[in-house]
Chain A
Amino acid sequence: MKKEKDNQKRNKTIILAKLGFGIFILILLSAMFVSYYNSYQEKTTLQSILKNPEKYDGVYYQTSGRISRTTDSFVYILDTEANMEIPVLYAGHYFKPGNNAVFYGQMTKDGYMIAAKSRLQNSEPFKYLISLIAGVIFLFLFFKEWKLSWNGFQERERDF
């Protein structure tokens, strides 16, 4: 009986210690993120470039994503990360709408990029599909070793 009480007390102490430590880590992560976010505001991003193109005249930038449309001299690329369309001055007819590509070049005060280097990346979207399959495989392997309970993840007997 006494042993059981001792065990319960010990378990409570462990849970409280874990909770305290978890809160401490969360606060630490939040503080780090705030600091990162403040420095991010000064970074060159597609949003900042397209908001104020004059400020970024001559800056080199890289964008990648799906080509939404093309004209004789421009390729319009939908930046995957920022989900913003950016016009790229590109002399050539290599890229077609629907292609995935990456462009590196100099920004102009008029808000378009002059392509210096480019690369076709058509197999890129398939990578995300493959990664989804890998995610399912991971979940299968993970729950083969662990089961979820009120005390967190508990070990299962069998290993793979």
Chain B
Amino acid sequence: MPDWISHLLFGLIICHLLSIQKKSLVLLGALLPDLIGKLKMLNYLFPGSPEWIIPISNFWHTPLPSFISVLLIALFFSYPYLNSVFLIWLGDVSHFLSDGTTKSFLWQGYLPLLWADQYYFAIIFFAITYTLLRIFDLRIIRDEHQLTPN
């Protein structure tokens, strides 16, 4: 699993490439699976935490429950509902894509590149990519209004 800086940078890269105005919704989605998914770390800080913390964390950190929670969270924004869902979900997908690059002895991601402790390579890669995209203003979609309401 990459760190949150990498997740944020990947989210920002997507926002830049697609000229998304409401970046924070994408960034929210980019961190969303970890917000509850890392509750299990409480076990480490507070020994003797209830046993259900691990399954609830693992449950949240899977694509389908995470998407359903996006449907719920989007309701809290005074913004066109489908746009909120789409933008948060986009970040959510980016989270799972970057997590899939993690190597492990037990399982392999779709593109096993880095061990969990090699997160700094991901930070460097995403930071350089984001900087270059901004400097050269490289985008897939140029018109901001294609992904945001008028």
Contact = CB atoms under 8 A, between A and B. Distances in A.
Interface string A75-114: 0000011110000000000000000101010000000000
Q: How large is the interface on B (under 10, 10 to 19, 20 to 34, 35 or more residues)?
A: 35 or more
A16 interface: no
Contact of B8 (A29, A102, A134): A134
Interface in B84-116: 104-106, 115-116
A21 B78 CA distance: 15
Interface in B44-60: 44, 47-49, 51-52, 54-56, 58-59
Interface of B: 3-5, 7-8, 21-24, 27-28, 31, 34, 40-41, 43-44, 47-49, 51-52, 54-56, 58-59, 64-65, 68-69, 71-72, 75-79, 104-106, 115-117, 119-120, 123
Interface of A: 18, 21-22, 25-26, 28-29, 32-33, 36-37, 40, 45, 47, 60-62, 64-65, 80-83, 100, 102, 104, 117, 119, 121-124, 127-128, 130-131, 133-135, 137-138, 141-142, 144-146, 149, 151-155, 159-160
Closest 7 CB pairs of A and B: A134-B4, A104-B105, A131-B4, A121-B117, A83-B43, A62-B106, A152-B76
